[in-house]
Structure 1
């Protein structure tokens, strides 16, 4: 088959969506399928095909669309916030760009977010099956970041509509967790039959090779190493981790925590680190391409998210056999069983996270037991074979439904 994987967001980037697309592309190509990947370029000035370099300058589309959309709003709906106008313009531009790359040649389109799903559903050939994977909930994230101030606002009503149409504008929508499925049903009114839960998968064999690679880290002898690989954004909850580490410092000082990733909260977190006197204990390593190797040097993995779905970082920590300290945000409790494959604390509760970290530091047998049980769980649950078997079942079901529908016309 000729398959198009597409997302509104830029690729490649550091994050679960990019990892998922990369895994899916490699596995589909290994099966003999031809796969194109269409997305924003990292400079956000072009749309392009990652696999062949073909691109389209965004300005050529955006300038005329911008004039028309803003003109319409100024004439008919002056009260509409510029944030909403911008989101409309971005979706219309993505629609036009996708259409310019000839969608008729694909046997199946697999979108990766609510914007690309709605856009491609509107411009693809009617006969082409479209499957979506939704990797998170932008509406809820905007509430956490303060970009949307409440559910009574016009912004919320707009993004809620985006969530709904992004989930239903497909033949089938895949979600990685039951948590996200329930959220889409309960909060946004998506019909249950539109949604299929398929957890992510990772190439564990390839990951273990990267795990063994050498990496130099500034670690004092005898110090325990905490690893937190997560974008420096509000929903990852780093401020709660720093509060927990400040509490830990009052009890023990033989540890260091490495934060892997970048993001808009970096400066704020640097200020917090200084205020808490953690300069000798918390290191910001930025974006890295050797995360598995760094994880291999760690003693304890920690992720303090306040909203999350099915983070690849947890999957990789489990595959590495690391004891895990996490919050109960989103779909994480579907990945980690408290006291068996990790220790879980309530979202935003730094005191309990501190206690979990301290407990693992002081109990070698507990670290070993939880790490080994996590490793066995990862092998069983996160294989790419399982991911692709479930995904191909959805592909086949949707394609067959299209053939039945076409035959009845």
Structure 2
């Protein structure tokens, strides 16, 4: 079997989608599947097949697309600059993917709705399409916009032109896919609201390559926490949707009660300077270390005492599972798929979304209680090792591919 894993987004060594793609490709390869990976390289403005060294520069078609899709001839198309930019990039992605070729695959596994819609439009034959919904595109776009417009509410955004555009991509990709992969009940219910029949869904939780994780964790992290300080940790993209600003607000409140802690934040993103400024304004800049991009998160997490995932929306972040595997007690926001990752009080805790006061109070209580932290961390590690097997994820995903081929054959 030959499979294409494809994403409209950038292929990067940071972020959950890349972790999923890389681990899945490796596992499928071990099962005898031939896997290619297609995605975007923003630095070079190209679409490429990563393992084959094939690429296509979007610069080759961008002038032509801008000339065709111009404000004079298509004023409605270009009225919203953000949507026009998305559509121009989607068309460029389609042309690049068509040039690179998709007809040689038995199954195409899209990692986002934009890629699914694009690939379906260029197919010359009926190749079974499986789409993973790693998040809710329209809702993620809402949080991006809420960052600059705090008064914006979700229901109003979903009824706006932009909201309807992103919802239409989700609806079209779901309708055109043979099967849909989700990792949580939450994302399944979100996509089901778009009118997608439940018979299309297959739920497979994200997994971690445990031998590789243990090997990475055995490496030495070259830094130690200051004497007498416990480490509160976060890893991930420094973007509004990840809620790091909520964590910093909670830490500012925590500092008024105690100072026996330090917060370690690993990751990159467009909010780094803003988050540094927030910490400085709250007089806790010296209590927070922004490590930037780290190549070995398991080693980093060995030094954490508490892990916080304060996201405004997150399906089932790998970072939470990695913290659990490190034996670190985790706190997650009570939104999206994150509450499904912990059993409150046994393998972690759930706090209301964007509730910095509740988060601060919980952090204060946990810093007081070494025994509870250790007990919950150990239970979380045991649970993750039993339920996050990459071998099982690979086998179940391969079953989905075979089912998609069978269903596609019935329709042919």
TM-score (ref. length: structure 1) = 0.95
Aligned to 2:232: 226
In 2: Cα distance, 1:260 partner to 1:363 partner: 25
1:83 is aligned to 2:85: no
Contact 1:168–1:194 (Cα < 8 Å) also in 2:
no
SS in 2 for 1:70: coil
**Aligned with 2:121: secondary structure?**
helix
**Residue-by-residue CA offset, 1:353-381 (whole Å, 9 max, x unaligned):** 11221222111111111011101110121
Deviation at 1:76, TM superposition (A): 6.0
Q: Are residue 164 (structure 1) and residue 171 (structure 2) matched?
A: yes
- CA drift at 1:128: 1.4
Corresponding residue for residue 297 of structure 1 = 303
Q: What CA distance in whole angstroms lies between the structure 1 residues aligned with 2:42 and 2:297?
A: 21
Q: Distance in 2 between the 1:295 and 1:257 partners?
A: 12
Aligned length: 404
SS at match of 2:302: helix
The corresponding residue for 1:40 is 40
1:95-130 deviation digits (Å, cap 9, x = unpaired): 111111222211111110011000111112333111
Q: Give the whole-Å Cα distance in 1 for the aligned partners of 2:41 and 2:158.
A: 33
**Structure 2 CA distance for aligned equivalents of residues 303 and 2 of structure 1:** 36
Aligned CA distance change for structure 1 residues 75 and 138 (closer, same or farther; 3 Å): closer
Cα deviation digits, residues 162-217 of structure 1 (max 9, x gap):
1211222211111111101111122x333322222211111012101111211122
User: Is the contact between residue 315 and residue 337 of structure 2 (CA under 8 Å) also seen in structure 1?
Assistant: yes
Q: Which residue pairs with 2:161 in the alignment?
A: 154
Aligned twin of 2:365: 359
Which position in structure 2 is the counterpart of 1:133? 132
Identify the residue that residue 23 of structure 1 maps to in structure 2: 23
Structure 1 residue 278: Cα displacement = 0.6
Q: 1:306 aligns with which of 298, 309, 312?
A: 312
In the TM superposition, residue 79 of structure 1 has moved relative to its aligned partner by 7.1
Aligned partner of 2:346 in structure 1 is 340
Corresponding residue number in structure 2 for 1:215: 221
Matches within 5 A, 1:86-97: 86-97=85-96
Alpha carbons 2:310, 2:333 under 8 Å: kept: yes
2:391 aligns with one of 385, 389, 398: 385
Gaps of 5+ in 1: none
Report if aligned partners of 2:254, 2:360 keep a CA contact under 8 Å in 1.
Answer: yes
1:139-166 CA distances to partner (integer Å, 9 max, x unpaired)? 1112122269523321111111112112
Report if aligned partners of 2:77, 2:84 keep a CA contact under 8 Å in 1. no
Structure 2: runs of 5+ lacking an equivalent: none
Do the aligned residues in 1 keep the contact of 2:250 with 2:359 (CA within 8 Å)? yes
1:294 Cα deviation after fit:
0.6
Cα distance, 1:108–1:44 mapped onto 2, change above 3 Å: same
Q: Residue 184 of structure 1 aligns with which residue?
A: 191
Partner-residue secondary structure (3-state), 2:181: strand
* Greater Cα shift, 366-375 or 165-174: 165-174
Within a 5 Å distance, the mapping from 1:385-404 to structure 2 comes to 385-404=391-410
Counterpart in the other structure of 1:264 = 270
More divergent stretch after superposition (326-335 vs 214-223): 214-223
Maintained 8 Å contact 1:70/1:85: no
Q: Determine if contact 2:178/2:407 at 8 Å carries over to the other structure.
A: no
On the 8 A contact 1:223/1:255 being kept in 2, the answer is: yes
The worse-fitting range, judged by mean Cα deviation, of 150-159 and 303-312 is 150-159
1:138 deviates by 2.0
Per-residue deviation, residues 225-267 of structure 1 (Å, max 9, x unmatched): 1110021111111111111111211222111111111111111
Report if aligned partners of 1:3, 1:35 keep a CA contact under 8 Å in 2: yes
Whether the 8 Å CA contact 1:134–1:167 is kept in 2: the answer is no
Q: Contact 2:178–2:404 at 8 Å: present in 1 too?
A: yes
Query: Could you say which residue in structure 1 is the equivalent of 2:63?
Result: 63
**Change over 3 Å in CA distance of 1:328–1:84 after alignment to 2:** same
Instruction: Quote the Cα distance in structure 1 between the aligned partners of 2:77 and 2:323.
Output: 50
TM-score (structure 2 length as normaliser): 0.94
